[in-house]
Amino acid sequence: MFRFLEEKFVPVAARVGNQRHLVAIRDGFITIMPLTIVGSLAVLINNLPIKLYQNALDAIWKHETWTQFGGNVWGATFGIISLLLAFSVAYHLTKSYDKDALSGGVIGLASYMTFGTFGEGGLSGLTTGTGGIFVALITALISAELFARLSGNSRLLIKMPAGVPSAVSKSFAALLPAIITIGLFALVRTIISAGFDIPDIIGSFYSSIQEPFMGLTNTWVAGLILAFIPTFLWSFGIHGANIIEPFMQSINLQAIDANVAAISAGKVAPYIINKPFFDAFINMGGSGTTIALIIAIFIIARKNKQYNTVGKLSAAPGLFNINEPLLFGLPIVLNPVLFVPFILTPMINVTIAFFATKWGFVPAATIAVPWTTPPIINGFLVTQSWRGAVLSIVLIVVAICIYLPFLSMANRMAKQNEQKAALAVQSEQSPVAQSEGQKVEV
């Protein structure tokens, strides 16, 4: 099975992971990640569930006054997230073609605004915020493709004299490709408005496609699939988290935005599945909940020199959810024994965390914190509740119990291999072997 998957599946997965457009989407989201974290921290400041904190600020200013701080930060981050993505994704895709990336990003933003803000919808909170993410991604990719191809046409290049500053030369070089690209988006949008009577394309797309899609991804089965894919790919040495990151990010920001809006209105958060949920409860220590594997190593594999050394070296990175030393040091990659718990553990943890949230034992994740935040602390921050921290502890204990029997089996196999190797060395160094070797030499 391993040989078949390695020969047939791994090359395909590797090509998908390096696919130009998916990489551009992933890098585009990574570029704006600091802003999403800042926006989430603004929500935390406004809604920190500590009465003493809330009462203290209410005593200094009116509640509506001091919450303006977080509201302004939210508006400058999540409130314009579609505009930021239109620029950043187009920028990275244009850069991958070795073209003028800055011009590509600016044209991507202009193309989205031309296509998405035309008509009744206009430049609204839906078009600039998380409601326009899918359309922003599509227009960014198409505009960058058009611009990169048009920029390669020498007949569309306006050359400036040698003495002209570089910035001016680049601007004129991008002029005709920009006119054609933005003009095409304006033409398509006009045809849609006139021929199909869709005055608000972002609103129509959101209600008919984006919102139902978000509902499909907010299920237990979807959570199992999202937990399975990264660990399965990692088992063959492919960075599964990078491959699935564009998809995770495309559903993440809308889910956080909807959860924050619901909680602010005194309602139940509608979306359980999002990236903070996975970072806090599934990827503790890294993909596969490997913080539990490190603890299990210290429990039963301390006498195994290899495992003990790798466990010590992996402890510090694992505390910040970096597990490459563990994946390649034990190894877990292409290891038929540890392959099973590495995939099974996050799927069980998804099940527990999903239903614990659904049944109201733990609040939904609403705060995006850095993925390097240590486990348990992460659970508290994303849910703004001590119950999130308790759930993290429970899931780590469950994961340790899953890893222990498999680690014990791997430990026994490692000891047997060491004993066989020692016996082989002894047999080679025995007097009989030495005398036979001398006879051969004579």
Helix (H, G, I), strand (E, B) or coil at 162: coil
pLDDT exceeds 50 at position 441 = no
- Binned at pLDDT 50, 70 and 90, residue 362 comes out as very high
pLDDT digit string, tens, across residues 297-316: 888 876 777 788 888 888 88
Cβ atoms of 110 and 175 within 8 Å: the answer is no
State how far the Cα of 290 lies from the Cα of 120, in Å rounded to an integer: 50
> Mean pLDDT over residues 324-348, rounded?
85
The rounded Cα 317 to chain-centroid distance in angstroms is 18
Residue-wise burial string across 215-228, b where 16 or more C-beta atoms lie within 10 A, e elsewhere: eebbeeebbbebbb
| Residue 345: Cβ-neighbour burial (10 angstroms; 0-12, 13-18, 19+) | buried
pLDDT number for residue 440: 45
Which tokens belong to 303? 């006498």
pLDDT number for residue 336: 76
Predicted model pTM: 0.73
State how far the Cα of 346 lies from the Cα of 343, in Å rounded to an integer: 6
Three-point CA angle 255, 378, 293, nearest 5°? 115
> Mean pLDDT over residues 333-346, rounded?
85
CA-to-CA separations, 8 to 3, 54, 236, in angstroms, rounded: 8, 57, 12
Residue-wise burial string across 241-252, b where 16 or more C-beta atoms lie within 10 A, e elsewhere: bbbbbbebbbbb
Please tell me the total number of residues recorded for the chain in this structure. 442
